[in-house]
Amino acid sequence: MKGYLVKLYPNKSQAILLDKHFGACRWVYNKMIEISQKKYHRTGKSMSGYDMQAMLPKLKKQYPWLAEVNSQSLQIVCHNLADAYGRFFKKQAAYPCFKKKDSHDSFAAINRSYFCGNKLKLQKISAIRFRGGDRPEGAVKKFTVKKIAGSYYASVLIDTGIVPPALQPPERILGIDLGVKDVVVTSAGLHVPAPKYFIFSQKALKIRQRALARCRKGSKNRAKARLRVAKLHQKISNQRKDFNHKLTHQLVANSENQAFAVENLAVKNMLGNHKLAKHIADCGWNQFITFLNYKARDAGKHVIEVDRWFPSTKTCSACGIVRGKISLSERQWKCGSCGSEHDRDRNAATNIALEAGRDFAFDCGGNARPVAILANPVETRKCA
Ligand SMILES: [Zn+2]
């Protein structure tokens, strides 16, 4: 299975029909919350996805406009809501809340849609022109259409039939230290400066947000100003995504790297630090790890997560001695015990790889060693 994201270019009538789908799905979602709340108060029982789905024909008779949209999309809404309730009852998520208009509009459907030249055929909607990268070969299994900042996107799940190669026991592990100044430093000495897309766009964002604040509530200009803010947010998020895709691709495609070790981050906890919060959010570490994980899996390579409380910065990667406190400004240091000179981040990355090697030997056997200790190439990558 492979995900494939395309931008859709619907004509006017198609856009109206897509908007109808968003509206109907949101309406059904909110209606089902209302109905299940009433049922819960009356009987103390929750509703399953099938219970909700069984109510759809009745609702369609009462509200005929619901029949204009793909019925499968409405059924999926029911199952998604039942899942959300399930997670709530398991205390894994908050209570599902009502969806507001324009908030994360989306709808999904399974099967019976296909690509035809430069168009994507969706059920109940004529073929829509799209643009995207190289399309994976295979049948469409599921798609989700989203509207973000006024533009339409479809993420399509394609069954490629390709089985990823079996995981190979690695002989070398590349340690990766994630940071704020350099977003990635590897045990092989690669330093990637953080691109800081959000920080660079902050001024422009402030101007647009101020313009939005000046608009009268409910006015047409306010809607336009809100779209301008949303578009800039979307641009920043696209830039970050593109950067992380390219970086993880570069790391995974390098045949020297047989396995990757990363710190197990609790980014959410760290975001509590207000001074660093926006810088940390701007780095997109979680996205980096997600991309690295799936790209490595497709290539038959391991990603090993190292416990986040492990003192990767303070330990000397040559002799293993743990030193006292180290300040953020201290970029280079010399080990008092063995005399090795360390670059702060690269030393941390090497320690992460060493720790992962120990974890790995414990879990799976083998004798994996960090890349830096086997080979010692130093490369620096300039960021565009
Ligand atoms: Zn030492």
CA of 322 to the centre of ligand 1 (A): 8
Question: Where do the H-state alpha helices sit in 178-219?
Answer: 197-214
What number of other Cβ atoms are within 10 A of residue 125's Cβ?
20
Exposed/middle/buried for 240, CB within 10 Å: 0-12, 13-18, 19+?
buried
The DSSP 8-state label assigned to residue 145 in this structure reads E
- Answer yes or no: 177 catalytic: yes
Please state which of the ranges 162-176, 247-261, 350-364 shows the lowest mean pLDDT.
350-364
Q: H helices of the chain, where? A: 12-43, 49-62, 71-89, 197-214, 220-253, 267-270, 274-283, 285-298, 344-364, 371-374
What distance in angstroms lies between residue 342's CA and the mean position of ligand 1's atoms? 9
Number of Cβ atoms within 10 Å of the Cβ of 296: 21
Tens of pLDDT, residues 57-103:
999 999 999 999 988 999 999 999 999 999 998 888 889 889 887 66
Per the annotation, the verdict on 68 as an active-site residue is no
Domain 172-374 is in which class? alpha beta
Is 8 in contact with 145 (CB distance < 8 Å)? Answer: yes
At 201-225, the pLDDT tens digits run 999 999 999 999 999 988 999 999 9
Distance 169 CA to ligand 1 centre (A): 29
Q: Is the pTM of this model over 0.75?
A: yes
**pLDDT at site 207:** 95
Where along the chain do its domains lie? 2-159, 172-374
- The answer to whether residue 364 scores a pLDDT higher than 90 is no
Among candidate residues 326, 354, 331, the one with its CA nearest the CA of residue 263:
354
Contact, 269 vs 309, CB < 8 A? Answer: no
